[in-house]
Amino acid sequence: MVVRTSSSPSTPTEALRALREAAPLTQCITNAVVTNFTANALLALGASPAMCDIPGEAGMFAGISGGVLVNLGTPTSEQRDAAREAVTAGTPWVLDPVAVGALPVRTALAHELLGAHPAIIRGNASEILALAGTGAGGRGVDATDSAEDALDAARSLAIRTGGTVAVSGETDLIVDATRTARVSGGSALLTKVTGGGCALGAAMASLLAVTPAFDAALTASVIWAVASERAASRTRGPGSFAVAFLDELAEIEPADLDGHVRVDTEVTR
């Protein structure tokens, strides 16, 4: 059963409450390194993950999902075909163009998939610059540019796809054709946990089932900031942080999203 309960704008508090009520089925075509952490993060948050990435099933499964993630971290030939199926199902979806730019197979696929109009593109600054054609990519999966460096590239991609672009960094940018939101806060320990950013893309996909793309990207970014700050405050390093972060995703309440991070929104005319 497809759960898409609202197309109306919502605050992060309202969006998290809606996600918890709906527990949307979220299809994740994602990379092998992060599958387990991504599934656990979605379960902790309140969504229902499914890692269905087999050609012949992926498109069908996307049709019954509330949101779809396509993450290009380990794009095997089967995953590439599964992604092509899933993005044509009509379900809102997130593109995470991991390490695009320097690596030719995933870069070509990312540009191909842009034609299917992702609701959200989520990446670091170097990935967004490379996808927009204004940068060469980062160092593997690591960004070598700041989020603000990618603002114009993000805007151009948002206009091209008609969707939202989320740029992760010390301050996250959420951009569509007319608006920019900046989410400050969070812990740098997230960058020391494999799957922290990839699971964020999955959270955005789950929220697409209950709120529009800009609000889904903004809400997920705020949740990640609050949960990571709380987890970091009671741990000593990346290992204990990863476990504590999952706990915080499970324990976070909608009201906790008010006032814990700064969200600045501007309108472009």
- What pLDDT, on a 0 to 100 scale, did the predictor assign at position 263? 74
Give the N- to C-terminal CA distance of the chain in Å, as an integer: 39
What's 73's DSSP letter? S
Sheet holding 93-96, edge to edge: 48-50, 25-29, 67-71, 93-96, 120-124, 164-168, 171-175, 179-184, 262-267
Q: Cα(239)–Cα(255) distance, rounded to whole angstroms?
A: 28
Please identify, in words, the CATH class of the domain defined by 12-182+191-222.
alpha beta
- What pLDDT, on a 0 to 100 scale, did the predictor assign at position 126? 92
- What pLDDT, on a 0 to 100 scale, did the predictor assign at position 260? 60
- What pLDDT, on a 0 to 100 scale, did the predictor assign at position 269? 64
- What pLDDT, on a 0 to 100 scale, did the predictor assign at position 1? 42
Q: Cα(58)–Cα(226) distance, rounded to whole angstroms?
A: 33
- What pLDDT, on a 0 to 100 scale, did the predictor assign at position 84? 98
* List of residues 6+ apart from 21 with CB closer than 8 A: 5
What backbone phi and psi angles, to 5 degrees, belong to 32?
-65, -25
The tens place of each residue's pLDDT in the chain, 269 residues long, gives 454 555 577 899 999 999 999 999 999 999 999 999 999 999 999 999 999 999 999 999 999 999 999 999 999 999 999 999 999 999 999 999 999 988 999 999 999 999 999 999 999 999 999 999 886 555 444 556 788 999 999 999 999 999 999 999 989 999 999 999 999 989 999 999 999 999 999 999 999 999 999 999 999 999 999 999 999 999 999 999 999 999 999 999 999 998 766 677 777 76
- What pLDDT, on a 0 to 100 scale, did the predictor assign at position 261? 66
- What pLDDT, on a 0 to 100 scale, did the predictor assign at position 59? 98
| b/e sequence 41-75, b meaning 16+ C-beta within 10 Å | bbebbbbbbebbbebeebbebbbebbbbbbbbbeb
What is residue 265's three-state secondary structure? strand
- What pLDDT, on a 0 to 100 scale, did the predictor assign at position 258? 84
- Report how far apart, in Å, the C-alpha atoms of 243 and of each of 127, 148, 156, 163 are: 28, 31, 37, 33
Size (the chain), residues: 269
Write down the residue that tokens 């690591």 correspond to.
Answer: 142
Q: Cα(206)–Cα(81) distance, rounded to whole angstroms?
A: 22
H or E element, residue 80: helix 77-86
In this structure, the dihedral spanned by the alpha carbons of residues 194, 139, 85 and 50, taken in order and rounded to 10 degrees, is 0
- What pLDDT, on a 0 to 100 scale, did the predictor assign at position 259? 73
Q: Cα(143)–Cα(80) distance, rounded to whole angstroms?
A: 24
